Copies of this chain bind each other. A is one copy, B any other.
Amino acid sequence: MKVTIKDIAAVAGVSHSTVSRALNDSPQISSATKEKIKDIAKTMNFEFNAGARSLSGRKTGNIAVVYQAIHDQFGSSLYVSQLFIELRHFLERMDMDVILLEGYHPETGSSNISRLLRQQKVDGFLIVHDLIKQRDYESIKQSGLPIVQLHLPPVYCQKEELDYFFTDHFMGGRLATEHLIKRGCRRILTVSTTDSESEEFRQRTLGYKQALKDFGIPFEEDLVFAADSSYQKGYNLFRIIPEILANVDGIFFQTDIQAFGFLSAARERGLSIPHDMKVIGYDDAPICELANPPLTTVHQPRRKLAELACERIVDLIAKRHNESRHQEVLFPHIVVREST
| A contacts, CB < 8 Å to B | 2-3, 45-55, 60-62, 70-71, 73-75, 78, 81, 84-85, 88-89, 92, 95, 97-100, 102-103, 112, 115-116, 118-121, 230-232, 235, 264, 267-268, 285-287, 290, 292
Contact = CB atoms under 8 A, between A and B. Distances in A.
B97 A98 contact: no
B71 A119 contact: no
A61 B88 CA distance: 21
A257 B88 CA distance: 26
A73 B76 CA distance: 13
8 closest A-B pairs (Cβ-Cβ)? Answer: A51-B54, A47-B118, A51-B55, A50-B119, A51-B51, A50-B121, A47-B119, A75-B78
A115 B47 contact: yes
Contacts of A97: 99, 116, 121
Count of identical protomers in the assembly: 2
A78 B78 CA distance: 11
Contacts of A102: 85, 88
Nearest to A58: B51
11 contacts: A2-B118, A70-B81, A74-B286, A74-B290, A75-B286, A88-B100, A88-B102, A97-B121, A232-B290, A264-B267, A267-B267
A284 B284 CA distance: 25
A176 B285 CA distance: 31
Contacts of A268: 267-268
Nearest to A46: B118
Given A73-B286, A95-B115, 4 more contacts: A55-B55, A88-B102, A97-B99, A268-B268
A8 B100 CA distance: 30
A50 B120 contact: yes
Contact of A75 (B46, B55, B71, B99): B71
Contacts of A290: 74, 230-232
Contacts of A100: 88, 98-100
B2 A49 contact: no
Contact of A50 (B51, B74, B88): B51
A290 B84 CA distance: 26
Contact of A62 (B73, B81, B89, B99): B99
B60 A85 contact: no
Contact of A103 (B61, B71, B88, B235): B88
A92 B112 CA distance: 8
A230 B292 CA distance: 14
Contacts of A75: 71, 75, 78, 81, 285-287
A5 B55 CA distance: 14
Contacts of A45: 118
A48 B319 CA distance: 26
